[in-house]
Amino acid sequence: MFAYIVRRSFAGFIMLIVMSFVTYMLFFAGPIHPERYACGKNCSPAQQEQTKKALGYDKPAFVQWTDFLKGTVQGRTYPEDEALQKAAPANVVECPAPCLGYSVVNTTTVNEEIKVTFPVSMSLALMAFIMWMVGGVLFGVIAALKKGTIIDRGVVGISLIFYAFPTFFVGLFLLKFLAIKWQVVPIPEYVSIADGGVGPWLQGLLLPSLTLALFFMAGYVRMTRAFVLESLGEDYLRTAKAKGLAPRRVLVKHSMRAALTPLVTMAGLDLAGLMGGAIITETVFNYFGLGKLAVDANQTFDLPTIVGLVLVLAAVVITANIIVDILYALIDPRVRVG
Amino acid sequence: MSPFLSVKDLKVHFPTVDGVVKATDGMSFDLERGQTLGIVGESGSGKSVSSSAILGLHRGTNALVSGQILLDDTDLLQLSDEQMRLRRGRDVSMIFQDPLSAMHPYYTVGNQIAEAYLVHNDVGKKAAKARAVEMLDRVGIPQPDRRVDDYPHQFSGGMRQRAMIAMGLINDPGLLIADEPTTALDVTVQAQILDLLQDLQREFNSAVIIITHDLGVVAEMADDVLVMYAGRVVEYGPCKEILVHPEMPYTWGLLSSVPDVAGDTESRLIPIPGNPPSLLNPPSGCAFHPRCTHRDKVPGDLCRTETPELTAAHSGGNHIKRCHLVNPDEVYATEVLPEIAPDLVEEN
């Protein structure tokens, strides 16, 4: 098991290096001229050249990439031009290893940007994850047990409605009615645990995570329903009944255990995907998370931020994959290795 | 003195959108402790459905079950769901065809066996596990104290079936139903499992119902045989009677389809033509008549128009059959037997 984890982590590490390379190459392969964007209109070619240098885009793409890799190991100092460092010592920024770069657009290091936005996305994703897993599994099991009845159809139908409505609609709807019109909950605002404690943190997360959870729950209700129904038809469930086990034990110990296994895989990947994928929800509720940062970085051609985000999000997905595989081995004795 | 198990006119019907599927349509038999009944028939003839009904596994589905299942004079069909559940696995238990899919892949063999003991006995987990080890030892698993913590996929097919038997017998049930217990196993292992079942039956003095389509298994194990076709009993009686003097053309067909390794190669393997009928829309009259090669011997198209009743066979005794043929014993001796076992005819 340990050797397996080491092997998978190593493969993931190689993957990250490849991904950073691809991101650099793609960025420069496109018809993007960040220096023109930064310099503004009426910018002379000489000024453009100067801006390019100031932004650090003057070197060949490959060299920029190797500089980036070096920075993740050694750390970097910005701006890199020594003349500029001497001219304005107050503007010098130290970026200790592992340095992901410096965003000229946001005038801060990428590490700092991610340090600020990561907890927001993480809180949002985790909270939504808990909500949709509890709700999805609960309603899915109920629908499966009441298969064909009005309850089953109601649960599946309602979940489909939430699935069909885009998150910006559900999010705005919740915001408009629950928070603004009826004032059931305060207008959500992200407060970190360090700043305001657990209570305000949870309160702030309620509506945005509910918005996300309602969307994901629909899928999980249907999947749980399908997996439970499938397991109910298995031979080993008939064996469990033939032993004289109580219906609840048959359901919980024998059916659910089998039904939840495929859900674990999906859940892990969905959670990881949500880290950078909750852009719309983050925008609706004005949460400054990784998704919003990614959209902004792309609109301003902020390469260091883009590369940093690609790597962080990829690392999250890779880690989630490894965790899912480990969990799978813990759940299903047939896939245990070595 | 009434028999230990008495099934009377058992019917299992499934209402569907297209009509009622009569999976079992009027099945009756008696069985004593220590005796074995073999239920034979093709796939879909209602063998497994009837045995599931005895166990009450149809409860909670849309199946309509009627008739009587008297076990020790208690009608199992009259019990509440909870009462039936408490008898399941304790008074009546079942072992299934494919032990790999019949065992939960995520729990150890010992856990699953001990669970069967825990439900019906007021003991702790340790005692239940000790009992599971004891049962594994009894069914011939080597190093049972170590193998008890193995998962089903770590067992071989034969060992899995032994474990299933251990699970079925852990509460010493009066009635054990074995649903094709050897079908998924190698031939060499089949004989071991059958021997084991016989030994345990003697030891526990239980009644055994063995469901199979293998007449070899029946010949080895059964005291009585019940042949089913399209949900109906078509022949029922003592095993020796049925195997030596079968009087229903379907039973002849089953006997003709059994390969005889020891016999000479001249004896032919004769398959029954056609397919089992649809239970939703069974043929008129005798359900077997479309596939029966002897229907012309019955005058007046009777096989097509009228369902034959279960009547006493010519050989007498408790042997009954469902067939319009007037002289089935003669037809069998002169037409069927020479085809499938010419050497037997010469000896006579």
Quick: pLDDT tens for B237-252: 999 889 888 989 999 8
In contact, B295 and B303? CB cutoff 8 Å: yes
Torsion angle of C-alpha atoms B186, B188, B189, B195, degrees rounded to 10: 140
pLDDT of residue B92: 94
Note whether A245 contacts B115, CB cutoff 8 Å: yes
Q: What is the DSSP letter of A285?
A: T
Give the position of tokens 């066979």.
B313
pLDDT of residue A338: 46
Q: Nearest C-alpha of chain A: how many angstroms from B135? A: 15
User: Is pLDDT at A264 greater than 90 in this prediction?
Assistant: no
Using a CB-CB cut-off of 8 Å, the residues of chain A touching B115 are: 243, 245
Out of A30-44, B222-236, B280-294, least confident range = A30-44
pLDDT of residue B260: 66
Q: Is B167 on the interface with A (CB under 8 A)?
A: yes
- The residue that leads in pLDDT, A175 or A80, is A175
User: Is pLDDT at B348 greater than 60 in this prediction?
Assistant: no
Q: Strand pairing partners for B15?
A: B20
Tokens of B293: 């090669």
Q: Strand pairing partners for B8?
A: B68
Nearest to B104 among A241, A244, A254 (CB): A254
Q: Tell me the one-letter amino acid at A338.
A: G
Q: Is B105 on the interface with A (CB under 8 A)?
A: yes
Tokens of A108: 């801060």
Nearest to A239 among B102, B106, B119 (CB): B102
Size of interface A-B (CB pairs under 8 A): 71
Note whether B102 contacts A235, CB cutoff 8 Å: yes
Interface test with A, best of B54, B93, B104, B111 (most A CBs within 10 A): B104
Q: Is A257 on the interface with B (CB under 8 A)?
A: yes
Note whether B167 contacts A243, CB cutoff 8 Å: yes
User: Is pLDDT at B263 greater than 70 in this prediction?
Assistant: no
User: Is pLDDT at B261 greater than 90 in this prediction?
Assistant: no
Note whether A243 contacts B104, CB cutoff 8 Å: no
**Cα dihedral A18, A23, A24, A28 sign:** positive
pLDDT of residue A330: 85
In contact, A243 and B167? CB cutoff 8 Å: yes
User: Is pLDDT at B95 greater than 70 in this prediction?
Assistant: yes
Question: Percent of chain A scored above 90 by pLDDT?
Answer: 41
User: Is pLDDT at B273 greater than 60 in this prediction?
Assistant: yes
Interface test with B, best of A147, A235, A237, A243 (most B CBs within 10 A): A243
Q: Nearest C-alpha of chain B: how many angstroms from A240? A: 8
Task: Determine the distance from the C-alpha atom of residue B209 to the mean position of all C-alpha atoms in its chain, rounded to a whole number.
Answer: 6
Q: Which of A65-79, A197-211, B115-129, B323-337 has the highest mean pLDDT?
A: B115-129
Q: Is A258 on the interface with B (CB under 8 A)?
A: yes
- Give the residue on B whose Cα is nearest the Cα of A147: B61
Cβ-proximal residues to A234 (8 Å cutoff; 6+ apart), any chain: A258, B101
Separation of alpha carbons A330 and B285, rounded Å: 58
Question: Percent of chain B scored above 90 by pLDDT?
Answer: 51
Q: Nearest C-alpha of chain B: how many angstroms from A235? A: 5
Q: Is B106 on the interface with A (CB under 8 A)?
A: yes
Q: Nearest C-alpha of chain B: how many angstroms from A244? A: 5
Q: Nearest C-alpha of chain B: how many angstroms from A330? A: 10
pLDDT of residue B238: 93
In contact, B92 and A243? CB cutoff 8 Å: no
Note whether A236 contacts B101, CB cutoff 8 Å: yes
In contact, A136 and A216? CB cutoff 8 Å: yes
Using a CB-CB cut-off of 8 Å, the residues of chain B touching A235 are: 96, 98, 101-102
Residue A183: helix, strand or coil by DSSP? coil
Per-residue pLDDT averaged across A244-262, rounded? 90
Out of A8-12, B88-92, B180-184, B338-342, least confident range = B338-342
The DSSP annotation for B80-100 comes to -HHHHHHHBTTTEEEE-S-HH
User: Is pLDDT at A302 greater than 50 in this prediction?
Assistant: yes
The DSSP annotation for A74-133 comes to H-EEES--HHHHHH-GGG-EEE-SS---EETTTTEEHHHHHHHHHHHHHHHHHHHHHHHH
| Prediction pTM value | 0.81
Binding-face residues of B in 173-192 toward A, CB within 8 A: none
Nearest to A235 among B96, B112, B119 (CB): B96
Q: Nearest C-alpha of chain B: how many angstroms from A328? A: 11
Per-residue pLDDT averaged across B198-224, rounded? 91
Question: pLDDT tens across A280-294, in order?
Answer: 888 888 889 999 999
Note whether A244 contacts B89, CB cutoff 8 Å: yes
Question: Percent of chain A scored above 70 by pLDDT?
Answer: 99
Residue A153: helix, strand or coil by DSSP? helix
Tell me what the pLDDT averaged over chain B comes to.
88
Give the position of tokens 């064996």.
A239
Using a CB-CB cut-off of 8 Å, the residues of chain B touching A246 are: 85, 119
pLDDT of residue B171: 93
pLDDT of residue A212: 92
Separation of alpha carbons A67 and A57, rounded Å: 12
Tokens of A186: 């305060």
Q: Is A332 on the interface with B (CB under 8 A)?
A: yes
Tokens of A26: 């793609």
Burial B170-198 (b: 16+ CB within 10 A, else e): bbebbbbbbbbbbebbeeebbebbbebbe
Separation of alpha carbons B254 and A322, rounded Å: 55
pLDDT of residue B267: 61
- The residue that leads in pLDDT, A224 or B293, is A224
pLDDT of residue B346: 58
Report which of A241, A171, A232, A183 is spatially closest to residue A207, judged by C-alpha positions. Answer: A171
Q: Nearest C-alpha of chain B: how many angstroms from A272? A: 27
Using a CB-CB cut-off of 8 Å, the residues of chain B touching A332 are: 105-106
**Cα dihedral B284, B290, B296, B298 sign:** negative
Q: Is B119 on the interface with A (CB under 8 A)?
A: yes
Q: Is A236 on the interface with B (CB under 8 A)?
A: yes
CB atoms within 10 A of CB A181: 9
